[in-house]
Structure 1
């Protein structure tokens, strides 16, 4: 539960079901088919960033660091999807879907609250990278294996490193998911500050823990699978999930 800038209460639903997730995915698919250019464009930004990171690490013989880098990608996915939320909002309201309006969504309702939340996400990714480097440094020192090959992960030390890093990364990702899954679409939809939006997002997750955490797990699994063929699967997965998250927000937050 949170308050808008005008003092009107924001109420979250407490009865979300798996059926709501299926309905959100179906609506997200329809939005993607109706406006594919926007989805491909925003997915392209995400894919380009991933490919640049891959080739940079590969060129410098640091392939092992692809694993923690890939773990941080889902954290920034919601911010990349901001434009998709605006496309879904405009399609739902019957408004024109111009590039200027959609790209301008990064400013939210014109008060830069989305950018401020984006800064929060950037800090989160930076924090994860620092933690991951610490974990990897400890295990790499013990293994005596270099960072130029993924063969490290086939060793007992590498498996232990994956287990520890995976557990820590999952906890960090879950936290950032909880504060952004509803807050970003809320900032696109209403005039609220980003702290209030984060509180509403947390309230929605607390009120529907199984469904909302299940949605987060589904997003993480789909994005991970979509990254495998040179990130190409993201051209469909990211837009559909982005549009679907908007529709889940509309179900989770009372109008």
Structure 2
């Protein structure tokens, strides 16, 4: 309780936001509402969503160009870790549409003028640190399995990974540790970025509220994490292009999930 009190006082609000309990029906409703936001402005939102797959394609090219092929999968999987940051503009568009305000592409960048931009930047910095720690961990796992010798080719790399005992260890250990990183990000950010857009609170209060939301709803939040991961995997086939639809829908749905989990301020 003392820790909660300290974190709460770190923000501009005296009281912590009230967290509700939700069920599977709330997840379904959030996804439906997210798709409705996407359908309302498909041209603008698809354009926003293309930023995500384009970054993926650029990173893919960098991987092949600089002979760091073993990090191709960790880099792609790492997008799950920075997804909440990439979706900031989508949260803002959903917030404006919900409030009956004008929704145009340029309004996605209103995030930069948010009163909470300092807190948003701090939380974004934390996500980037987690992302780079994940990449370093993935590299260390590869080196432990195969040493420092670079992969000679794509076919050689795939044979190394899928046809050797070291490769099996790499898959099991890499996916296990990657899951822990993804779980950490889910717990820290499932409602924290939308909360910062909606209210002026500190990063500590936003993170604590997100943690409380997961603790209060472990089953639904675990299912939400699986839905997000599954849709991102599907959207990555082929060449990340499906993310132009998946990312906007998930971004908007996350805003609506926040609305169902965190009780609005009474006016």
The 2-side partners of 1:29 and 1:147 are apart by: 43
Paired position in structure 2 for 1:152: 160
1:94 aligns with 2:100: yes
Query: Whole-Å Cα distance in 2 between the matches of residues 190 and 254 of structure 1?
Result: 12
Runs of 4+ in 1 over 6 A off after TM superposition: none
Equivalent residues of 1:107, 1:114 under 8 A apart: no
Partner of 2:243: 234
- The one of 21, 28, 31 equivalent to 2:34 is 28
| Matched residue SS, 2:78 | helix
Matched, 1:201 2:210: yes
Q: Which runs of 5+ in 2 are unaligned?
A: none
Distance 1:106 1:152 in 2: 45
Partner of residue 74, structure 1: 80
Q: How far apart are 1:8 and its partner, in Å?
A: 3.7
CA distance in 2, matches of 1:109, 1:99: 20
Residue 258 of structure 2 is matched in structure 1 by 249
- Which residue among 14, 17, 28 is the counterpart of 2:23? 17
Between the aligned partners of 2:194 and 2:159, the Cα distance in structure 1 is: 41
- Whether the aligned pair in 2 keeps the contact of 1:28 and 1:243 (CA below 8 Å) is yes
Q: Work out whether residues 64 and 148 of structure 1, in 8 Å CA contact, stay in contact via their aligned partners in 2.
A: no
Matches within 5 A, 1:133-144: 133-141=139-147
Q: 1:239 to 1:68 in 2, by over 3 A?
A: same
Q: Aligned match of 1:5 in 12, 27, 31?
A: 12
Q: Deviations over 1:26-59 (max 9, x none)?
A: 0001000002234223322111110011111112
**TM-score w.r.t. length of structure 1:** 0.93
**8 Å contact kept, 1:106–1:114:** no
Cα deviation, 1:96-138, whole Å, max 9, x if unaligned, reads: 2244432021454344211111111010101101111110111
Checking the alignment, whether the CA contact within 8 Å between 2:16 and 2:205 is kept in structure 1 is no
Asked if 1:129 corresponds to 2:138, the answer is no
Query: How many aligned positions are there?
Result: 253
Greater mean deviation of Cα atoms: 194-203 or 106-115: 106-115
Could you tell me which residue of structure 2 aligns to residue 177 of structure 1?
A: 186
SS in structure 2 opposite 1:29?
Answer: helix
Tell me: CA distance 1:157–1:196, structure 2 relative to 1, closer, same or farther (3 Å).
Answer: same
TM-score (norm. length: structure 2): 0.89
> Which consecutive residues of structure 1, in runs of 5 or more, have no partner in the other structure?
none
